[in-house]
Structure 1
Amino acid sequence: MAVIGMLGGILFQVSDRQVLNFSKLQRSVSGKWSQYDVLGRKAVSVFLGPELQEVTLNVTLNAALGVKPRQLLELMARMVESGTPAVLLIGPRRIGQNQWVLTKSSEAWNRVYAHGELVQAETSLTLKEYVAEVIT
């Protein structure tokens, strides 16, 4: 088994029994800025500090690759609705210094078989950095 990464209870991995991976991981890091107008001159820019980082990624859930799409979609929905922070690992390394919360999960049910059996779905996940306390 080759572990790709992990987010809370979601284990991204490739093995002979299961393939659960992601694509198009995008990370957004930005600063918080303010501008003050000055009469007859250009505005003055002031750096206020870092913004919370964001990560988006796409996940394909395919029963033919050993995953249970509906079960994983329900887990993702619970993570969004509970707001539980989790570490995001890609390989052995953390992404960012803090934990992350899953703020949005958009899903597309691509293949549904008899009796409503979901066999393939795609989801887009949006995560936001979670800072538990202010450090002074």
Structure 2
Amino acid sequence: MAVIGSWSNIVFSVSRREIKTFDSLKWNFGAKYATHEVHLKDPILEFVGTDVETISFSMLFSAFLGVNPMTEINKLHNAVRKGKVSRLIIGKKTFGKNKWVITKVENQLERYDNRGNLLAAKANVTMQAYGVR
């Protein structure tokens, strides 16, 4: 099995039997500025810190790729409900200087069999950096 990365107990991996990877990863970061108005002049910007970093990506869970979609969706759901905090690692790279929390998961339940079993689903995951005080 080739492990691509992980966040908490969610492992991104590829093997002969199953494929659990992500797609369309976006990593956003920025800065915050205060604007000071000056009489009869252009406003002056002052750097006041960094914005909260966010990461978003999608995951396809399919029984045809050796994965139980509902099991994987439940892992994400439990992580959100418990406020799970963990490092996001992809390859040998840790993203950001802080750990991450999942703030939102949007699920598209795409395919069912004739018995109502979920066969394929897509999860869109949004994470935020978990700042340390």
TM-align CA RMSD: 0.9
Whether 1:103 aligns to 2:124 is no
Secondary structure of 2:12's partner?
Answer: strand
Residues 27-86 of structure 1: CA deviation (Å, up to 9, x unaligned): 001011110111111111010011110000010111111111001111111111221101
For 2:115, the aligned partner's letter is: H
Amino acid of the residue matched to residue 52 of structure 1?
A: V
Question: Alignment length, in residue pairs?
Answer: 133
Q: Please report the TM-score for the alignment, with normalisation by the length of structure 2.
A: 0.96
Matched residue, 1:28: 28
Q: Which runs of 5+ in 2 are unaligned?
A: none
Displacement of 1:116 in angstroms is 2.1
- Tell me the TM-score normalized by structure 1: 0.94
Amino acid aligned to 1:123: A
Tell me the equivalent position of 1:127: 127
For 1:1-136, what aligned pairs fall within 5 Å after superposition?
1-132=1-132, 134=133
User: Which of structure 1's runs of 4+ aligned residues deviate more than 3 A?
Assistant: none
* Gapped regions of structure 1 (runs ≥ 5): none
What SS does the aligned partner of 1:41 have?
coil
